Structure 1
Amino acid sequence: MYKLLLALIIIVPALEIGLLIVSGQTFGVPVTILLIIGTGVLGAWLAKKQGTRAIQQVQYQISRGQMPGDVIVDGLCILVGGVVLLTPGFITDAIGFILLFPQTRKMVKPFILNIIRSLIDRNTIIIR
């Protein structure tokens, strides 16, 4: 898991830089900069909107005596999606939008839950 994370930390920024250079050559530097700023602003707005909705759902479920497990995973996805959308680059923007939109987040959540379960099974994450 850590080797994969290390590889992603090295490979993803290199790919991002390459895509930004190609975008700058294809569309021009001003358009590329506007795309980066636009996705950052849109990502911040979406993260705030989706995050507020997730907090309201958590509060509602807690007030009804329910455990908000699924909504917590949504909140985690929204947090990560918002952070990666603020990072300049097209790959991170795609990942961020996938995590922010509820329709695409539903497809990703089973993978995230499997990762969390495997970390718990290996005692990497301790729940008290």
Structure 2
Amino acid sequence: MWLFFIFISIPLIEIILFIQLGSLIGLWLTLLTVLITAIIGTIMVRAQGLAAVSRLQSSFSRLENPSEPLANGAMILISGALLLTPGFLTDAIGFAFLIPAVRLNVYRYMRNKFSVQQFHMGTGSHPSSTDHSPYRHNEAHDILNGDYEDVTPKASETKPSGWTKH
């Protein structure tokens, strides 16, 4: 029900804001403002999006929990969609998501609302919180012995089809 309310109320608020601002500064200046906010927003989203991808790759390479860089990237993506949507309310929300402090507070709120039980990444069984090296050595130095059987498929005994040049 609340989602229906959001989908109905946001366009109504945008229409009211367009009418109010259009009567205050005129039609062409209102349309120019919408166009300029979309262009500025696109430039800002691109720059922050590239930085977010870099932070995400860095967290993967250091074998750290990538939830914060992923959340930042998702909020920047939402910000871009809101900034490209014509309207002043969506632009205000989109520009707010481009502020790192706002994203951090939203991330903290969502992290407290939803929790991940465990996150493990790497080559070891359970990486320690202090060791971020991808090459961890087992203290017991286990040696594994075993037998193997070659299961490589044998070459086909049939003639090649007319579609191949054998």
TM bucket (normalised to shorter chain) is: 0.7 to 0.9
Counterpart contact for 2:14–2:89, Cα < 8 Å: yes
Query: What corresponds to 1:73 in structure 2?
Result: 71
> Of residues 26, 29, 32 in structure 2, which corresponds to 1:28?
26
The residue type paired with residue 92 of structure 1 is T
Identical-pair percentage: 36
The residue type paired with residue 109 of structure 2 is F
The residue type paired with residue 7 of structure 1 is F
- CA-atom RMSD in angstroms: 1.7
Choose between structure 1 and 2: higher helix proportion: 1
Query: What corresponds to 1:53 in structure 2?
Result: 51
Q: How does 1:90-109 map to 2 (within 5 A)?
A: 90-109=88-107
After superposition, the C-alpha distances for 1:28-72 in whole angstroms (9 at most, x for unaligned) are 111101110011111111111111000000111111111211010
TM-score, normalization by structure 2: 0.65
1:111 and 1:73, CA in 2 relative to 1: closer, same or farther beyond 3 A? same
Unaligned runs of 5+ in 2: 117-166
Q: How does 1:3-18 map to 2 (within 5 A)?
A: 3-18=1-16
Q: How does 1:103-122 map to 2 (within 5 A)?
A: 103-114=101-112, 117=114
- What is the aligned length? 116
Separation in 2 of the partners of 1:94 and 1:50? Answer: 17
Per-residue deviation, 1:113: 3.5
Unaligned runs of 5+ in 1: 121-128
Separation in 2 of the partners of 1:80 and 1:114? Answer: 20
The residue type paired with residue 106 of structure 1 is L
TM-score, normalization by structure 1: 0.83
Larger-Rg structure = 2
